[in-house]
A and B are shown apart, each in its own frame.
Chain A
């Protein structure tokens, strides 16, 4: 390369950089900023990772411009600690001037950010946390994940109607666990079922053995289980070790215990477990097949229900912006989100205009082996299930 040539190419590069720099500030004015607060470290990190993956995937598929505006994601890790969530939300709102806050791995985190969303009048899109009260804490909260009432009610109904008379319950002793227990109990006993044993295990429980032994001695027809994501594997292993599967005691529950994220490593003892949940990677729709294939290709694992909640969360934000024509006024965005309906990889879903919570199908699934891998195979559908946790007030 001659010197002259080299100089020319330098000049060209410099010009290109200069023109980029000239464009950039104009572009920044037109950007829509989304503050994403997720647990990327700590015990809930798999939730954060799935949601982040799904959002990246969505933006690769649909582009990063909506209604003429560039979408910019600012990710903050709160480690599922509510104090950190609050600080992160404050920084995002005050310093970064975000137009949305989104994510929230656990209920206390979502609640910690609620007053800030109200003050700043910007939408808080909850993509994971699952207790009923969340959307009642701010008129700016919209949820695309689920509530525990949705799945716990349905599995209670299903169990009572399908020959399960006596159930022993094992739930983690914290807000979502208690939600899962109470909503199940309500429907199951109303349907004529009997709870023969009720054990709440501490959240930081190392060994399930004594609790499981107690369950085994109570000789129930089935075991109703809710433990936070991550402990499901531990639980199922010890369930098998103690021979509860051989004693004919099946596991039922909301789908957290057989999350797609963990299911494949649980071993064959998990076969036959019946759960009610919003999403299975085996959901037989063409849209889901594409979604699972794309997710697997990008990240090497299958998506779980947290991934699909994140995917729908970013979709909701995109569609709301389309509806307002790129206007980022919080009230207009919330108005646009209310009542929105769309087809998700999990099936048809909508946002309840009154509660801003998600309305979705809940599927009854059984763990089966498909092509040598364990999957939650759906066999019954309850259409358009609303959150029943709120109507009682």
Chain B
């Protein structure tokens, strides 16, 4: 029994991590209708910023985390203003080619400046190891991930559903022309949203370094995971990717634990089954735009 709960805990933590990494992509892909395959590059940027601050400059981990968010968001806003915005109206193929090219450039650049070996962020002692909770092994770091991601999810949902910005964004997405007619600065809303998505990716990159490892190939290695989460969850809301991440995280961990021989295939099998059942994802809109 306790091993089931330990696995459940690990699965939830892994799922939450996937969610933070992928939900920025759900925002750009689903809300802004932009195929940004360079999403992982922003995650990597956040991870490396956090690593440099903590390992080289001796900053505390919890101070470096928000800065990972901020720096990835800044890079995001810079690229959005200079490059991305020209591609909003172009075809998805152009967007894919552009963003995948950007990914390869980021891989080469990080390889050149930081070296190709895997790096780790020096964690404070309080975050290391496991403690025992009624026989269930709780990893401290994984618990922190669950807490941070849980809070983040609630905040995101509130922003989108309850705030003025949320309604502006939804309006800008649904009908950009009518929205600008009503005085909403659509480009500004998009730039902000894009930067926010990149910031989330950066935070996810910093959080995931400990568990997934951080090296220049990060954006390519994990692109498939981001895409699975968004595809399975559907990209029209935050709840969809959230539940999809949890489901995939728990499924992946359980698969690797109980049937290690076919462990890596569990996540793909789940994706296929879900997509046959619901082609637009768990919470996808039936009518495509």
A interface residues with partner B (beta carbon < 8 Å): 41-43, 45-46, 199-202, 204-207, 209-211, 213-214, 217, 230-231, 233-234, 237-238, 240-243, 261-262, 265
Q: List 14 A-B contacts (CB under 8 A).
A: A45-B115, A46-B117, A199-B260, A206-B211, A207-B14, A209-B14, A210-B256, A210-B257, A211-B260, A213-B3, A233-B213, A241-B128, A241-B130, A242-B139
B interface residues with partner A (beta carbon < 8 Å): 3, 6-7, 10, 14, 108, 111, 115-118, 120, 128-130, 137, 139, 141, 210-213, 215, 217, 221-222, 225, 252-257, 260-261, 263-264
B256–A206 CB distance below 8 A: no
A230–B260 CB distance below 8 A: no
Please judge, given known A-B contacts A213-B3, A214-B257, whether A234 and B264 are in contact too, CB under 8 Å: no
Q: Which residue of B lies closest to A214 (CB)?
A: B257
Please judge, given known A-B contacts A41-B111, A43-B217, A206-B212, whether A234 and B139 are in contact too, CB under 8 Å: no
CB neighbours (8 Å) of A213 from chain B are: 3, 6-7, 10, 137, 257
The minimal Cβ–Cβ distance linking B150 to chain A, given in whole angstroms, is: 19
CA distance A211 to B264 in the complex (A): 11
Please judge, given known A-B contacts A42-B217, A45-B116, A210-B253, whether A243 and B137 are in contact too, CB under 8 Å: yes
Which 3 A/B pairs are nearest by Cβ-Cβ distance?
A210-B256, A45-B116, A210-B257
CB neighbours (8 Å) of B139 from chain A are: 209, 241-242
* Number of A-B contacts defined by CB within 8 Å: 91
CA distance A165 to B213 in the complex (A): 33
CA distance A147 to B222 in the complex (A): 32
B264–A233 CB distance below 8 A: no
CA distance A205 to B263 in the complex (A): 10
Q: Which of B108, B253, B256 is most buried by chain A, counting CB atoms within 10 A of its CB?
A: B256
Our pick among A42, A43, A205, A230 for the contact of B264 (Cβ within 8 Å) is A205
CA distance A209 to B222 in the complex (A): 17
CA distance A384 to B203 in the complex (A): 52
CB neighbours (8 Å) of B6 from chain A are: 213
CB neighbours (8 Å) of B261 from chain A are: 200
B210–A237 CB distance below 8 A: yes
Please judge, given known A-B contacts A45-B116, A242-B137, A265-B120, whether A206 and B260 are in contact too, CB under 8 Å: no
Our pick among B116, B128, B130, B225 for the contact of A43 (Cβ within 8 Å) is B116
Our pick among B128, B211, B215, B264 for the contact of A202 (Cβ within 8 Å) is B264
Our pick among B116, B256, B263 for the contact of A42 (Cβ within 8 Å) is B116
B116–A206 CB distance below 8 A: no
CA distance A265 to B108 in the complex (A): 24
CB neighbours (8 Å) of A41 from chain B are: 108, 111, 116
B10–A241 CB distance below 8 A: no
B212–A207 CB distance below 8 A: yes
A237–B7 CB distance below 8 A: no
CA distance A163 to B254 in the complex (A): 33
Q: Which residue of A lies closest to B10 (CB)?
A: A209
CB neighbours (8 Å) of A238 from chain B are: 211
Please judge, given known A-B contacts A209-B14, A241-B129, whether A230 and B7 are in contact too, CB under 8 Å: no
A240–B10 CB distance below 8 A: no
The minimal Cβ–Cβ distance linking B142 to chain A, given in whole angstroms, is: 8
